[in-house]
Amino acid sequence: MAKNLTAKIYMVGSTAGVEVEIKDKATTKGSKKANKMATKKVILNSVSGEARPGEILATMGPSGSGKTSLMSVLSGRSAYQEGTISVNGKVLDKHRMKQFMSQVAFVKQQDVFFETLTVRDQLTYTAKLRFPDCSKKGRSERIQKEVDRIIDMLHLTKVADNQIKMCSGGEKKRVNIATELLTDPMVIMLDEPTSGLDSASASSLLNVLKDLAKNHGKTIITTIHQPSSATFLNTFDKLLMISDGSVVYFGTPSDSLDHLAAYGYACPHGYNGADHWMDLLVTPSSNHNEGDGVSAKLVLQKSWDDEAIATRIDSAVELEVQPENITTNNYVLKSLKVSKYTTSWFTQFVTLTSRALKKSKLTLLSPITIGQTIGLSVIVGFVFFDLGETEKDAYNYYSYFYVSMISWILFAMNQAIFTFPQDRLVVNKERATASYHLSAYFTAITVADLPLTLLMQFLYMAISYWMVAWAKGWDAVLNFIYVLGITVLAVLAGQALGYLVGAIFDDTRYGFTVYTVMTSLLLLLGGFFNPHIAPWLNWARYLSPFHYASNAAMQLVFVDDIPCDGSGALCAPGEKYFPAERFLEEEICATDPLWLNLTMLFVFLTVPRIFAYVVLRYKKPSERE
Q: What is the pLDDT of residues 360-387, one digit of tens each?
A: 776 667 788 888 889 989 999 999 888 8
Q: Report how far residue 625's alpha carbon sits from residue 432's, in angstroms, rounded to the nearest whole number.
A: 10
pLDDT at residue 440, rounded to an integer: 94
The residue among 81, 69, 109 whose CA lies nearest residue 16 is 81
Give the pLDDT band of residue 15 (cuts 50, 70, 90): very low
Q: Report how far residue 180's alpha carbon sits from residue 183's, in angstroms, rounded to the nearest whole number.
A: 7
Residue 321 backbone dihedrals phi, psi, to 5 degrees: -90, 75
Which residues, other chains included, contact 190 with Cβ-Cβ below 8 Å and sequence gap of 6+?
A: 107, 177, 209, 220, 221, 222, 223
Q: Report how far residue 607's alpha carbon sits from residue 75's, in angstroms, rounded to the nearest whole number.
A: 38
| Contact in structure between 447 and 353 (CB atoms under 8 Å) | yes
pLDDT at residue 112, rounded to an integer: 84
pLDDT at residue 57, rounded to an integer: 92
pLDDT at residue 31, rounded to an integer: 44
pLDDT at residue 326, rounded to an integer: 43
Query: CA of 100: how far to CAs of 97, 412, 443, in Å?
Result: 5, 42, 29
Q: What angle do CA 143, 149, 151 make, to 5 degrees?
A: 100
Average pLDDT over residues 62-77: 83
Handedness of CA 579, 580, 585, 589 (dihedral sign): positive
Looking at 171-175, 389-393, 404-408, 423-427, which range is the least confident one?
A: 404-408
Average pLDDT over residues 593-615: 92
Residue 160 CB neighbour total at 10 angstroms: 16
Q: Report how far residue 240's alpha carbon sits from residue 55's, in angstroms, rounded to the nearest whole number.
A: 13
The rounded percent of the chain whose pLDDT value lies above 70 is: 84
Residue 522 CB neighbour total at 10 angstroms: 22
Give the pLDDT band of residue 623 (cuts 50, 70, 90): very low
Q: Report how far residue 219's alpha carbon sits from residue 5's, in angstroms, rounded to the nearest whole number.
A: 10
Beta bridge partners of 19: 42
pLDDT at residue 352, rounded to an integer: 94
- Burial per residue of 393-414, b for 16 or more beta-carbon CB atoms within 10 angstroms, e otherwise: bbebbbebbbbbbbbbbbbbbe
Question: pLDDT (tens digit, 9 = 90+) per residue, 133-175?
Answer: 766 678 888 899 999 999 988 889 999 999 998 998 888 888 9
